[in-house]
Amino acid sequence: MTITEDRGTEASAPPAPFYDEDHEAYRASVREFLRREVVPHYDRWEEERLIDRAAWRAAGEAGMVGLAIPEEYGGAGMTDRRYRMVFSEEIARANTTSFGVGLGLQDDIITPYFLHLANEEQKQRFLPGLAAAELIGAIAMTEPGTGSDLQGIRTSARRDGDDWVLNGQKTFISSGIQADFAIVVARTDPEAGSHGFSLFIVETGMPGFERGRKLDKVGIAGQDTAELFFRDVRVPAANLIGEEGGGMAYLMQNLPLERLGIAMASQASCQAALEWTLEYVYQRTAFGKPIGDFQNTRFELASIETEVDVSRAYLEQAILKFNAGTLTTVEASKAKWFISELQQRVVYRCQQLFGGYGFMLEYPIGRAYRDARIQTIYGGTTEIMKEIIGRDQAARYKQR
């Protein structure tokens, strides 16, 4: 049997590569920045559970944050998410996950609220500081006892003259210790259901705004996480983001980008773990030959590489759809749950091939194993992602 060319059909052009020269030039900048400003200090940050503010400012000076912020506010004006994917890949390669999570919070979660919802005064007040990484922000959604159930939020805000008076508690707040401000989700109308929530910018120094413990996490230790408390905090009406009552809709609009960012980080972690393991198994010997020459090792790594390549294909399409403004919530949810769950399997299986050395934190696979666990939890658990997809399926097929 031979395969012949169909002469009657003009051959289609090969697909364009995912990255171009500009992306690779940016990669070189990110790699050098991490080598110079992050890697030498990273172990200390992990021990102290806090990243130096100087490193944030260095990231701002080097153009590592604020990519999507328009130039008029001090940013790069680059909305192409492939640059953020390059950043994720280099973070994974350098095994500096805590630093990547911190900067990802700024670019994927905090900044979009100001770009899409803030008025001009708010943009002028916050975007230049975010672009320069002189301001660190947090998003305060989760509360004790609510988890993924945002409708159960109890933090409240009531109008009092030109202010809102805020009361409540938040937990698991990334960057909560260092944040100069937090975007706080609060209930403003108990009778309005999903339309009864609003978003407020609560700034450091406002009386009644207090930080609790620096939480001790299983992984990504260097990225500070905290409890936040609000006791009769008077928030100026000028610090309301968007419209009163629009908070829940705004959260839903921004969550797909957060979930895409998590999927990107998970994919980058899978690729890094695979590369570390391939290098290791052909250096480590057992029974007189490299362990990579044993059939079980080859089969395992062949399976892993195939799974990583397949998930990469879906993720690249999701990123390009986001760039085109067509990525749906369901598509982002699929990417988030599938690739974050794949990360758990890949890192676990790769760690197994390292043997006892894989349990040592001096080896990158040990840290990757520890840091991977949160990926299926934050940004919406795997179960929540499947519920979103399942509801979409029901809506499509119940109409038939």
Within the chain, all domains assigned CATH 2.40.110.10 are found at 138-245
Dihedral pair phi/psi, residue 218, rounded to 5° = -65, -40
The half-sphere exposure of 129 on its side-chain side, counting CA atoms within 13 A, is 14
Within the chain, all domains assigned CATH 1.10.540.10 are found at 21-135
Section 188-214 average pLDDT:
95
Section 141-158 average pLDDT:
85
Q: Where does the chain have alpha helices with state H?
A: 21-33, 42-48, 53-61, 82-94, 97-104, 111-116, 120-131, 247-281, 295-324, 329-353, 364-372, 382-397
The mean pLDDT of the chain is: 94
Q: For residues 87 and 345, give the distance between their C-alpha atoms in angstroms, rounded to a whole number.
A: 23
The half-sphere exposure of 364 on its side-chain side, counting CA atoms within 13 A, is 20
Q: For residues 323 and 326, give the distance between their C-alpha atoms in angstroms, rounded to a whole number.
A: 8
Q: What is the pLDDT of residues 28-47, one digit of tens each?
A: 999 999 999 999 999 999 99
Q: For residues 322 and 195, give the distance between their C-alpha atoms in angstroms, rounded to a whole number.
A: 27
pTM for the full model?
A: 0.93
Q: Is 258 a catalytic residue?
A: yes
- CA-closest candidate to residue 280, choices 372, 370, 367, 355: 355
**Residue 139 and residue 183 in contact, taking contact as beta carbons nearer than 8 Å:** yes
Within the chain, all domains assigned CATH 1.20.140.10 are found at 249-395
Section 334-354 average pLDDT:
98
What is the chain's length? Answer: 400
Structure confidence at residue 5 (pLDDT): 47
CATH code of the region 138-245:
2.40.110.10
Dihedral pair phi/psi, residue 168, rounded to 5° = 155, -170
- CA-closest candidate to residue 126, choices 238, 230, 227, 235: 238
Q: In this structure, which amino acid lies at residue 310? A: V
Section 313-335 average pLDDT:
97
User: Largest Cα–Cα distance of the chain, in whole Å?
Assistant: 83
pLDDT value at 256 more than 80: yes
Given 37, 90, 143, 258, which residue is catalytic?
Answer: 258
Q: Which of 8-22, 58-72, 146-160 has the lowest mean pLDDT?
A: 8-22
Can you identify the CATH homologous superfamily of domain 21-135? Answer: Acyl-CoA dehydrogenase/oxidase, N-terminal domain (1.10.540.10)
Q: For residues 166 and 30, give the distance between their C-alpha atoms in angstroms, rounded to a whole number.
A: 40
**Three-state secondary structure readout of 187-256:** ECCCCCHHHCEEEEEEECCCCCEEEEEECCCCCCCCCCEEEEEEEEEEEEHHHEECCCCCHHHHHHHHHH
The enclosing H or E element of 185 equals: strand 181-187
Q: For residues 128 and 70, give the distance between their C-alpha atoms in angstroms, rounded to a whole number.
A: 10
DSSP state of 72: G
Burial bucket for residue 98 (CB in 10 Å: 0-12, 13-18, 19+):
buried
**Residue 332 and residue 318 in contact, taking contact as beta carbons nearer than 8 Å:** yes
Q: For residues 84 and 267, give the distance between their C-alpha atoms in angstroms, rounded to a whole number.
A: 12
**Residue 231 and residue 224 in contact, taking contact as beta carbons nearer than 8 Å:** no
DSSP state of 400: -
Tell me the pLDDT band of 16, cut-offs 50, 70 and 90.
Answer: confident
Candidates 1.20.140.10, 3.40.50.720, 1.20.1050.10, 1.20.120.140; CATH matching 249-395: 1.20.140.10
